Structure 1
């Protein structure tokens, strides 16, 4: 039954086209009124297994603790796309796509995209697919694995550290450097996080890769 639901969902998802929106802690003009597509941070690093690489996208920054985060949800009209360039031309050769549906996060890829650039179609025909329940706020992380891939989706503490008070003092000419330690402006705030870990063998490159993330809204 679980597999049947997955196939039905992917058949519906496949006809959608998405357009990229840039973001960074709600300061990009395109996301001022659409904070559910706002990307706060992107991380790519070697997994606990040195044979894996993890990709992390955080969205919807500045969620407070309690009800603010508890009521937050992934936007079902927004797709998160991890782009991977293996040839050094700054054009994506592979993508990993993630989109929420009915309390679950569907992950497709790594796979070659049907088109590059700002527009995307969900790669429902990808050999690599995974679905994971979105972890509710305050609960232990729900992680699913399939074919060597692992995925998580849900609220997490914002890992970004920035002392905006001191930054304002520096910009205003009242200070020349940050304090050590500084005051973390993001302490106690949360983000909606998507984590996908894949074997390096799926990337098809043992050398350097270029990688970036986009949020793309359905058109």
Structure 2
């Protein structure tokens, strides 16, 4: 084939120009990356709102305990959106706007809600023409630089035999604590957290926002029960991950039926609208680990959509549990005899004389006796270690429910004493001493940052990016120089395209 006159030279010239332009642009990109090494490796994992929003309805854990610093109140905590990577922007973690997040209270043991605290959320965007969650450092919840914010309402719904008695709005447009983007964006996150703690007119206190995931355990239990030989224990696999939390501190006399009947059953649910616009329950949680390791695959979705009143359908999963049989098969530890009526007390009825209400209907609820005062020195194994203020009498943030559940499953309450556990005895972060008690979320800026001296990542770019001499450049100088190089690169590309269009006498559309 005969080449067109002049085309070969044009291609070489264009290639030369483009290479120069891309090289200049590459220096600009390198300058930005050098300020945060490794950031690009996870930049596309939460790239759009739809894909990032699926966990918004997933309730991960429920806690209920008599408040240690205010024993005339009870604190309820429920968490959503598990495994939040702290640097998971630009679409950080928000509650769903098309959901109802409910905290249920059964105060007479009939397996029905007498009280529902309903949280509903709205999202507000100040500037839709930027991809940023915040456009500068944020020092308050009403800071103009906090681009994406949420507020919520709380409704108190009172029921009798599932019929509406009353509905009262307890709060309107309460601000949500934001995702902890990083120390540059939120230099004093504790200040933002404190601004999201809101006192209600009825004596309650509320909080909603991001928090460190308070559940501590080694999730390698799902790798054939800790690796099949107990080689996979001792690592808190939730360390460093965050959740979205709702916390509510309520006067005890507002929750309970009477002083004579101080036991309440607690659980949480999430409802969302289906394609027809009808509310459907999609998540439910009371006691820890029930739907994870007690219910088999065939029952998990049905359990999430069900109410405690109908829990008789899951009774066999409790009286004939699978987990002890698996432990026997793998570790040769004899499973306790069935039926397991001891587990019925722990998970469905409450322990008699401790947190079992009179005339109780068996149902999966987290039962708490609000008349038992907080322990001065809480023990992580709760009731198993003589601390009646802990699990299964409610659940405190510090309760080691995995070790407790394993020991009870293996017959601790029916004569088979054991010390089974996953060797994770506490959370990686310390909990607070006052409401909402949750540890602050891990910041998105965690991990190593670029050094500013010696043989650092910045210095590896060479002196060309440092206009003030070796070792003397500031962050601003580096960014400005990099931006200038990038602009020069784009200018060269534009010049190359103009030259090429004139050369070929073609029009671009």
TM over 0.5: yes
1:158 to 200, 213, 221: 213
Shift of 1:128: 3.5
Counterpart position of 1:126: 168
Shift of 1:164: 2.0
Counterpart position of 1:87: 108
Is it true that 1:210 corresponds to 2:244 in the alignment? no
Shift of 1:42: 0.7
Q: Structure 1's 202 and 127: CA in aligned 2 closer, same or farther, altered over 3 A?
A: farther
Shift of 1:191: 0.5
SS at match of 1:210: strand
Is it true that 1:38 corresponds to 2:58 in the alignment? yes
1:146 to 193, 200, 212: 200
Aligned residue pair count: 178
Q: Structure 1's 198 and 101: CA in aligned 2 closer, same or farther, altered over 3 A?
A: same
Q: Structure 1's 215 and 104: CA in aligned 2 closer, same or farther, altered over 3 A?
A: same
**1:166 and 1:37 mapped to 2: Cα distance?**
24
User: What residue ranges of structure 2 are gaps of 5+ in the alignment?
Assistant: 1-52, 124-149, 181-188, 279-509
Shift of 1:199: 0.8
Shift of 1:82: 0.8
Q: Structure 1's 69 and 165: CA in aligned 2 closer, same or farther, altered over 3 A?
A: farther
Superimposed CA distance per residue, residues 136-192 of structure 1 (whole angstroms, 9 cap, x where no aligned partner) = 1232311110221111111111111121235414266x215874xx10111111111
Alignment of 1:36-115 (within 5 A): 36-47=56-67, 48-68=69-89, 71-102=92-123, 103-109=150-156, 111-113=157-159
Shift of 1:105: 1.8
**1:211 and 1:153 mapped to 2: Cα distance?**
18
Superimposed CA distance per residue, residues 61-81 of structure 1 (whole angstroms, 9 cap, x where no aligned partner) = 011012349711110111111
CA contact (8 A) 2:101 2:268 kept: yes
**1:198 and 1:214 mapped to 2: Cα distance?**
19
CA contact (8 A) 1:76 1:101 kept: yes
Shift of 1:107: 1.3
Q: Structure 1's 127 and 137: CA in aligned 2 closer, same or farther, altered over 3 A?
A: closer
Q: Structure 1's 199 and 164: CA in aligned 2 closer, same or farther, altered over 3 A?
A: same
Kindly name which structure, 1 or 2, has the bigger radius of gyration based on alpha carbons. 2
SS at match of 1:137: coil
1:175 to 222, 229, 235: 229
User: What residue ranges of structure 1 are gaps of 5+ in the alignment?
Assistant: 1-32
CA contact (8 A) 1:85 1:211 kept: yes
Superimposed CA distance per residue, residues 41-86 of structure 1 (whole angstroms, 9 cap, x where no aligned partner) = 1111112311111111100101101234971111011111111111
Counterpart position of 1:29: none
CA contact (8 A) 1:70 1:136 kept: no
RMSD value, Cα: 2.7
Shift of 1:114: 8.2
**1:166 and 1:211 mapped to 2: Cα distance?**
27
